Each structure stands twice: as structure tokens, then as C-alpha cells.
Structure 1
């Protein structure tokens, strides 16, 4: 009974968080409408919010202030992110290239070898049924938890331990160890994202796509300011894939190309790769190049800029309902038509559409900031350099946008900070509530090229921050939930069932009133 109640409480906790960091009525953000101070962070979907919406995917161009968004933890050369299921490592599928089976790490011309990060996998003889625990043991964390803490030590541990975030209906197949992104009936699907961003690099995903008309599977490199490179799969076209790219959120549909894939993408594993360099992008399927785009061909003379992805990007893998009846007619038509939520084969057999992922790799390339990252590394204490892999992350290097609100963002819009712990202290807060950046350690790209630092720019930023009013108005819902409270209450539940009635404040009251009915329903559904 305790486990069922705990499952109910955790479900209601996540539900409540969704209300805490979003306004009751959606507020849209764009180049013509920045977010208000109460909900200061603009998400990649053009919605204003706070808390988790201020981390990584937050668009500083359309937020209340560019510093509403947190600095972005950088995936820096020669570190990389990867996930390998037992299924992919054994190469059981006849169509599963073994390209990802060997992870190679490159050095920065140093006298040491890099070793793989230790995976937090469970022991072979134990079956873990709790989805959240299974995901965390594989370095995945729910996006509403990631870097949501007022404690620097806890945030630093998260930066070290987690490679990916997830949302929606995400699970792990106990028999194959594959990541499953699900989309149950009438839902909005699921999303997997890298916990760090990179400026140029290569991503590789080995997976099977979702099937059925109107269901979309996507592999995307996405920047906070709207740069994008992607593969998109229509569930009604299982022998094809679309490749596309966008610059700064401008939707130019003529950039899309269609490619044939064989055998079909739903029943067979294929390796999809995007090789993103400073001067060109290459899309590959099963190791074969299917498209190449050169930066020189994207020049816009009116803007006097290249409409080419050139800002730090994170990796996303998603399943979403392109054919949902709530979408625009043009989106539904592009997706192949309305989704059949009742009679589709997967709905009849499993109750959900799904993507099955058995390998992920994200490798950053060197860029113009590589020498700064080396300085970050050299500044570490000798004790912090004992394990090189961990040392790279110990630099806590972040990318920061500067002076870009409603402007075209590119490499020149970026700064690097060598020792910054990214975090948001509450679900009604933004980065403005926890500014702790040492601006004396910021290096701008033009300063790197000239060998000097822009002291005037630093002084202007310091003055702007000192004069800024960061006394954010109280949110509609009090911030009653944080990581520390959750941990304390879970510990109380597991160690002393008599204290249950004292836990979780209003959320516990709701869960108690609904316990007899909801615990069984939500426990079965959630797991």
C-alpha cells in the first residue's frame, strides 16, 4: 500500500510542478512579444514560464531579459555523451551498424588517455520497476528536476552524473535496455534531450521510428535561439525521411529534402547521424552520406549574415502528434493527416505509439573557444585533474549569450565562463534570482581573436546587473516544493509510515483524499 501511495504522490508532485512553472493561461513569446517579469523565460516552443523553462532550452532573445535564462553547460572537446543499450552493444539487428559499439575519446594533445565515464547501471540480477530510478541509473533525469536546486553541491553532482533529460512517457525495456519514448492516446508525446550543448560536433542515433499516420518521430539539433538541424519521420511514410535546417527560428520549408530509407524505419534499426562543422553540415544514414549543406551557400546579402546554424545546440529525440486535431491544418496535412487514436495497430496492441532507441552518441568538435576551455582545465587544482574525464566536467564551462535580445545570434554573440554552477533555486524563479557569474572571467570571441578582454563591456554588464531589479513578483502558487522538501518527505515515508499525514503539504492532502481510487490507477499507468 505504501508503494502505491508513494507512486500516487510522486505522480501528483510532477503534475503540480507543471502548474508551478507555467501560468494558468499560456503566454506566448516571440520577436514582437517578450515574456513578462512574472514568467520571464521563453521556451523553445514560444511559451513563457519559470523554473525548468529557464534551463538550456530557454531563448534569451524573447525572454524578459537575456539573463533570465541560465548559462548553458557546455559539452566540450574531448568529452562526449553516450548511451548504449545491451541490445545495441550485442549488435543483434542485421541492420544495426556497429559504428557506435566502440567509443573513442580524443585528447587535447596531452599526455594522458581518456576513459569512459562510469555508467550507473543496475546489477544484472536486479529488476528495477520504478521508471525514474531506472532512468537515473542510466544517467537520465526528469527535466523538472535537472539543476532545480538552491544548493551548489547538489547542482554540481547533477552536472557530473546526468547526460540526458526526459519528459513525457519515457521508459526502459527491461529485456533489451532500450529507451522507449511513448505517446499514449491523446497525449503530446515524449522528449529526450542532452543535458549539455555543443558548438559543432557529431550526433549518432540508432533507433526505430514510430508508425501510423500523423505520428512524427524526430532527431533534432536545436539551439536556444532557434538554429536547428534535423531528421523528421512521418509515421505514414516508413520508407522515407525528411532532412531540414533552420536559422534563428525562421521557417523556410524549401530547405527540406526527402530521402529514401530501406528497409522500413519502424521495424528495423537504422543509424542516423548529423555531422555539424563550422563550414558544412552532412546528414548520414547507415554510414552513407545523403545530404551536404555548405555554409557559403546560405549567405543572406540583406542581413549580411549566413543563415546557417552557428550557435550552441543540444540533441533532442522526440515523438509528437503532428496529426492532432488541435494543430493547424497545414501541420496536420504535412504530418499525413489526422491520427487514428482508436484503430491504429499500436494503439490496439500496446496502447501507445513509440520510438525505440538503442544507442546515442554526441561528440563535440574543437571550435574557436577550445583555447579558453584549455585555460579552464589548466586552472583546476591538481587533485581535480586525477581523472581526466571527470576533470573536463569539473571545469564547469558554460556558454553565455550577451546582448542578443531581438538580434541575430551567432558565434560572436557568445561568452565563456570557466567555473559556473548552473542552477535555478525554485520553480517560480529564473536565472535572475541566482546570478553568480564572475564576469571578470568571461572571454568574448572577439577578445580571444584580438588577445584582449573587453573591460568596458564587462563594466557595462556589471553596472547593468547591479542596477537591475530582480525582486520578482510572487507567483500565483507558493513555491512549496523543492528538491530538499521532496527528499525529506520521501525519506519520512520510507522510514516512518506514521508520518505520512505530515508530508507534502497540499499535494499530500490531495493524494490522501484520492488514495483509495487513484493509487491503483496511477501506479499501474505510471509504471
Structure 2
């Protein structure tokens, strides 16, 4: 099981044991379509190591994605985004990077075309993350070359090993491209690999934590979509995490990488029906369509963009909608659920 996201303090939170902080959730701004990751002009690079997304300088009207930290480890090329981990000095931990969408979604079918790092101790991720730390995960452990792991967190409470699951790939290995899908509506979350459903998690689960006051363990706040590659660490300072990841890395080669070609987004409305945008009026500037990722492996380091527009949205994967409408009063629950959260030390 994952113990924490290393080197990214903002990704985890604790409720009962942490420091109480007010946190209002960002609004959803979902537009259905395919967003390619092979165009530097739609990527904003954050060079402020203390900042975290969303960034005020990266409005969705100009950018589709943000490089959140360590931009030197993120490359954009014909195949899309590649994040590289380089062998660290003796006793060190490799630093990765992360790509986030510039906009939040609340309920959508999200598919990414992803190739993962097949090396022990390295974790390739595709997740959703809200301001109040609701989280839906794919975590691909490099030591398990034919499997993927899923997890779900609510409001940042650290119930590790409780809500996770492991799934076999329908075919092939993780270092080949596969379609990974998170299909999230107000009733359930489906995890799919190459259009095969590997998990169905409904909104009928409850935490035993008394601080949650019988709330369902189910993400219900607008979330960024995020992609990353990270090193699980060493077995001295992160023994449990390293054991989970099959690490530490062998570093039998000087670097390892993972790649993401594009992300397909199908927005859902409050009745779990597929729509072109949600809320109504969620529109952003469009630019000329980008070409499909090619077979070329050439990449170039991401540079800070100045201004641009989003790629034209093309038809996304066929959505699966839920059968039940959102329960009455859930909008108020969403607002209240993001009011208090805390940070915990990694």
C-alpha cells in the first residue's frame, strides 16, 4: 500500500489528527473532449517550488495542463508527455515531476493512454485530486509488470490499505501503452483497463473513523486530473513504502521514464448523463486540432509558456453513465465537505 506521495506535501491531508485549515473547493469547469499532451503551447510550467495547483497564472482559457514541479524532468514530444527519473547520488532519492489539468472536473469518464515505468520502487500514477483531498487513484507499481492498483481517499483521511485493490492487466505489461479509465459519477467509480472493467466502487461504503460522522467514503468534490512518476525512496527512511513498491530501485540503467499521450474527458451532469460541458457555460478558447501522437520517441524539455489556447476537443471514448440521479442536497454536502482539512507530515 502507498504510505504517502513523497516530496509533495500538498497531496495528503488528515482530518482528526492534523491542523484544521479552511479550504474552499475550486468550482468544476469540465469540457468534454480529447486533450493531447504533445504541444508545449498548452502547458504552463510552474517554477515556484512552494506553489501548488491550481495556479493563478494558468487560467483554463489559456492552458490545458500545468507542470507542477521539477519541469526539468518533464518532456513534451510527438508521443506526448514523458517524465524521467534519473539515477540519484548514493543515498539519494530520484526526483520526478507531475502534470495536472488546469481545470477541475466533478464527475466524468476520464481515460489516459499511458506507458508506465517497469522498475521496482518506481510508481507511475493517474489520479484525481480535489482541493479538500478527495482522491481517486491508479498507482502502477513498477515491480508488478502485469498489474495495476486502484485506491480511493475521502477528504484526505489516511486509511491506507483499506480501500485499495490490485488488478491484472487484460494483456501485455505496464511498459506498453494501455488505456486506463476512471469513470466517476455520483453513484459509483469504475476503474477500467483497455475498456475492461476491473473494479466497481459504489457510494455505499462508510469509514469507521468517528470524525467522519457516518459520511460515505466517496469523493464528491471538483478535482484536478494528475499524472506523475516518483521514486518510493530508500528502505531506511521509507521502509513500509519501499516494501509496498518492491524497491528500492535497482538503478541498473541511468534513468527510467513513463509517458502519457492524451487524456479523454467525458463530462457528466448532475443526473450522471454525458454532456459536452458541465456546468453549462464551461467553455474555453480553442485552437487548431493537434496531430495524434506519433511513433517517434523524440522529446524536448517543456519550457514556460506565455499564452495559448486549448486544443480542439475531439470525440472522447464512449461514456458510461450512472442510472441514479444525484441525491437531493448533495450540492450543499459538497460545499460543507471542503471546509476543513489538515496537512500531515510525509
What range describes the TM-score normalised by the shorter chain of this pair?
0.5 to 0.7
Cα drift, residue 247 of structure 1: 1.4
**In the alignment, which of 70, 74, 92 is matched to residue 170 of structure 1?**
74
Aligned to 2:268: 365
Kept in 1, the 8 Å contact 2:122–2:230? The answer is yes
1:337-376 aligned within 5 A? 337-341=247-251, 344-345=252-253, 347=254, 352-367=255-270, 373-374=279-280
> Contact 1:319–1:355 at 8 Å: present in 2 too?
yes
* Separation in 2, partners of 1:170, 1:295: 36
Number of matched pairs: 267
Could you say what secondary structure the match of 1:159 adopts? coil
Identify if the C-alpha distance between structure 1 residues 181 and 225 changes in structure 2 by more than 3 Å, giving closer, same or farther.
Answer: same
Which residue of the partner structure matches residue 248 of structure 1?
155
How far the C-alpha of 1:273 sits from its partner, in A, is 0.1
**Residue 315 of structure 1, CA deviation:** 0.9
Name 1:479's counterpart in structure 2.
Answer: none
Question: SS at 1:337's partner residue?
Answer: coil
Equivalent residue in structure 1 for 2:172, among 258, 263, 266: 263
Residue by residue over 1:314-334, the C-alpha shift from the partner in whole angstroms, topping out at 9 and shown as x without a partner, is: 111110111435642110100
In the alignment, does 2:117 pair up with 1:234? no
CA RMSD between the two structures: 3.6
Q: CA deviation at 1:275?
A: 0.3
Structure with greater proportional strand content = 2
Counterpart of 2:229?
319
What are the superposed Cα offsets for residues 355-411 of structure 1, whole Å, 9 maximum, x if unpaired?
11112123331128999944xx4xxxxxxx9xx6549x9xxxxxxxxxxxxxxxx84
8 Å CA contact 2:123, 2:140 repeated in 1? yes
Looking at structure 1, the residues matched to 219 and 227 of structure 2 have their Cα atoms a distance apart, in angstroms, of 18
Q: Identify which of 310, 320, 341 aligns with 2:220.
A: 310
Aligned to 2:11, what secondary structure does the other structure show?
Answer: coil
SS at match of 1:334: helix
Structure 1 gap segments, 5+ residues each: 1-41, 48-58, 87-120, 122-134, 150-154, 378-384, 394-409, 416-443, 446-527
Counterpart Cα distance in 1 of 2:150 and 2:87: 27
Structure 1 residue 66: Cα displacement:
2.2
1:13-412 correspondence runs (5 A): 43-45=10-12, 66=22, 72=26, 74-76=28-30, 79-80=31-32, 82-84=34-36, 121=39, 135=40, 137=41, 139-144=42-47, 155=57, 158-166=59-67, 167-168=69-70, 169-173=73-77, 176-186=78-88, 187-250=94-157, 251-261=159-169, 262-266=171-175, 268-298=176-206, 303-325=213-235, 327-341=237-251, 344-345=252-253, 347=254, 352-367=255-270, 373-374=279-280, 377=281, 389-390=284-285, 411-412=331-332
Kindly provide the CA deviation profile for residues 33-92 of structure 1, in whole angstroms up to 9, marking residues without a partner as x. xxxxxxxxx822469xxxxxxxxxxx9x9778526x7x625323xx13643367xxxxxx
* Aligned partners of 2:28 and 2:279 also within 8 Å: no
1:184-221 deviations in Å (ceiling 9; x for gaps):
12322111111111111121110110121111111111
SS in structure 1 at match of 2:145:
coil
Give, in whole Å, the separation in 1 of the partners of 2:55 and 2:74.
Answer: 20
| Post-superposition offset of 1:313 | 1.4
Partner of 2:322: none
Please state whether the residue corresponding to 1:310 is helix, strand or coil: coil
Answer 1 or 2: which has greater helix percent. 1
SS at structure 1 position matched to 2:204: helix
- In structure 2, the CA distance between the partners of 1:74 and 1:327, relative to structure 1 (3 Å rule), is farther
Structure 2, gaps ≥5 residues long: 1-8, 89-93, 287-308, 310-329, 338-346
SS of the residue 1:317 aligns to: strand
Alpha carbons of 1:147 and 1:260: their partners in 2 closer, same or farther (altered >3 Å)?
closer
Measured after TM superposition, the shift of residue 300 of structure 1 is: 5.6
Deviation at 1:226, TM superposition (A): 2.1
- Bigger Rg over Cα: 1
Secondary structure of the 2:61 match is helix
Task: State the Cα deviation string for residues 146-204 of structure 1 (Å, max 9, x = none).
Answer: 7766xxxxx5x83301011113210023xx33210111123221111111111111211
Compare relative contact order (CA 8 Å, sep 6+) and give the higher one, 1 or 2: 2
